[in-house]
Amino acid sequence: MKKILVLCTGNSARSQMAEGYLQHFSGDRAQVYSAGVAPHCVNPLAIQVMAEDGIDISHHTSNHADEYVQIPFDYVITVCDNAREQCPYFPTAGEMIHHSFPDPGHTASAGTPERDRPGEDKLTSFRRVRDLIKTYSQEFIKSRLGEPVPQ
């Protein structure tokens, strides 16, 4: 069984959604964890948009990356640039992977970075990022573990 850790800054949205999808698509072929470099609680909008797609992450907790440094992970995936830069050293990690997703908690206004969308409300932003993470998770599981478990 493969062990996968997903890291982001707060362990409140992106890494939580990725954990949910990676676990869903891998079935019993992987154990998936998520953590943050500066964790805070799981965002209720992340829970809501995942539930809309049939994935329950309401039981997830927000954890610090340091809690997992002794686990022999096959993959450590950073899903934001900040986590990549601040990622603790995982001596037992088989492969470090980086794939940055936009922060769904940042809605756009004039002059904000391109990753945000002007006029997009937070719920729409969370749904858009959820869909990006879902696609990435399906492709990740397919390329690393074979075909995803059917939905």
Catalytically annotated residues = 8, 80, 87
The partner residues of 108 in beta bridges, in order of sequence, read 118
d(CA 4, CA 40): 21
CA dihedral for 151, 105, 65, 51, sign (positive or negative) = negative
With tokens 């939580």, the residue in question is 16
Pairing of the two strands 95-98 and 30-36: unpaired
- Determine whether 121 is exposed, middle or buried from the number of CB atoms within 10 Å of its CB (0-12, 13-18, 19+): exposed
